[in-house]
Amino acid sequence: MTSARLSVEDRLLALEDRQAIYQVVCGYGYSVDGCNTQSVGDFYVEDGVYAVGDMPAWIGRDAIAGITRDPGHLKLVGAGCAHMSSLPFVVIDGDEAVATCHTMVPMHGKNGFFIGRLSASRLELARQVDGGWKIVRRQNYMLDGSPDGPALLARLKDGSEKMERIAHG
């Protein structure tokens, strides 16, 4: 349905949903760099998953929030780093959404700043009872020449795995 056929209320809700999803996507980086365990956890559903192609997945809100206490993470933050996301492309279907973006981790070294990691990122989100959005699954693949990152970005307009199963029976 085109936006011209949607009511003003429906269009406003769509804008509010996108804005809330943008807050989730960018808020994670600020929270993890600030080592704010509670805030990091608040972005995920209880059984959320954060999978990075070259690392074991973190499963569950507490495990994901625990990244902020990890000695390796604390060392990175102490040396100077930032987890940054580009403005995501968002697909919303009712109470499900997918946000696709690039993420990078600029880091400080003895010769100044450099990009430590550059990834393709896909976040599947679910609307909560309060109307807010939380991450159900986040998948990152490094943009290091392997096909995984570009393949994830190629799914830009695809819905979540749950949306895909419903749409295709």
pLDDT at position 93: 93
pLDDT at position 159: 82
pLDDT at position 95: 95
Give the 3-state secondary structure of residue 140.
strand
Query: Count of domains in the chain?
Result: 1
What's the rounded Cα separation, in Å, for the pair 28 and 40? 6
What's the rounded Cα separation, in Å, for the pair 137 and 2? 29
Structural domain including 111 reads 3-167
pLDDT at position 166: 46
pLDDT at position 4: 66
Q: What is the mean pLDDT of each run of 10 residues along the chain (169 residues)?
A: 78 95 97 97 98 92 97 95 97 95 96 96 97 97 96 90 52
Tokens 């990691």 locate to 117
CATH of the domain at 100: 3.10.450.50
